[in-house]
Amino acid sequence: MRFTDDIAEVVEFTAEEAGIRLDVLLASVSGRSRSFAAEVIEEGLVEVNGRIPAKSLKVKKGDLIRMEIPVEEVPSLEPQPVDFDVIYEDENMIVVNKPAGVTVHPAPGSPDGTLVNGLLYRYKIEDYNDFRPGIVHRLDRDTSGLILVARNRDAREKLSSLFLNRTVDKRYLAFCWGTPKFDTMVVDEPIGRHPADRKKMAVREDGRSAKSKFIVKERYKNAFLAEVHIYTGRTHQIRVHAAHIGHPILDDSLYGGKHNRGYKIERQALHSWKLTFKSPFVQKECDFCAPIPHEMELLRERLLILK
């Protein structure tokens, strides 16, 4: 990986947990890969309590961390027509309703046809930094719903800070398997990489703190619709927590197991339907909603008939 001499943004924060490797923490906070974080540390662009650390350093709670994120030298991103709906746009941000099946940004397995390619086809986004211009948070490929996109570098820094400081209220709709005993279920279990399958995450004691709340909205035969509120933003968080409590997301090929049978909708039944936050640009409350996708509405109709 090659860097230019320009700095895209500076991230400063206080470590909330102890015992996490610095490169792992920086990858999570910045939304980059662990290898990216390691190279930034080796370039001397990271300080912990005012000192340049080793990438293997395990942080302590309360450590003051400063990370300069450099601009990467990367091949040009190709604007491409990609199908997605726009919920809202202004000079600073775009709110997109991402369809299931669309990857947010290019990666080794998905070099094009991503949301980023589609955004560059429709808009001028003045935030060229690696393969994620304008992206301040992500959704899994087969999760649909709201994505907040920055239109310039200043907007990216301000919007990223909302997610870093956990001031964005994120609500999802999920069709889950089973018959829950309670109408409200709070799952407060740490999440880390699965010990045997690197594609999966899992609840594990040495993972990072993660908290989700499932509120049952409708009950069906051996299934239910839940509104899910996440207090943290770990990889696959809702899917892992749902499976952990015995109520996996319907048609989740990675975590659903045998419970997928009979509910095939060719995507996981998870939708990011609501984002609420205080705008850093005009100091007013923003509240965006994305309607439930057609295929999930058809699933609901089938479940109501079975009920």
Catalytically active residues are: 140
| 151 closest CA partner among 115, 112, 123 | 123
What is the CB neighbour count within 10 angstroms for residue 157? 18
Q: How far apart are CA 272 and CA 290, in angstroms?
A: 7
CA separation, residue 67 to residues 9, 20, 27, 233 (Å): 8, 16, 11, 20
Instruction: Confirm if 224 and 218 have CB atoms less than 8 A apart.
Output: yes
Q: What is the 3-class SS of 275-306, one letter each residue?
A: EEEECCCCCCEEEEECCCCHHHHHHHHHHHHH
10 Å CB burial of residue 285 (0-12, 13-18, 19+) is: exposed
198: Cβ contacts below 8 Å, ≥ 6 apart: none
Structure tokens at 277: 């936050």
Residues near 165 by beta carbon (within 8 Å), at least 6 away in sequence: none
Tally of helices (H runs) and strands (E runs) in the chain: 6, 14
Of 103, 135, 126, the residue nearest 31 (C-alpha): 135
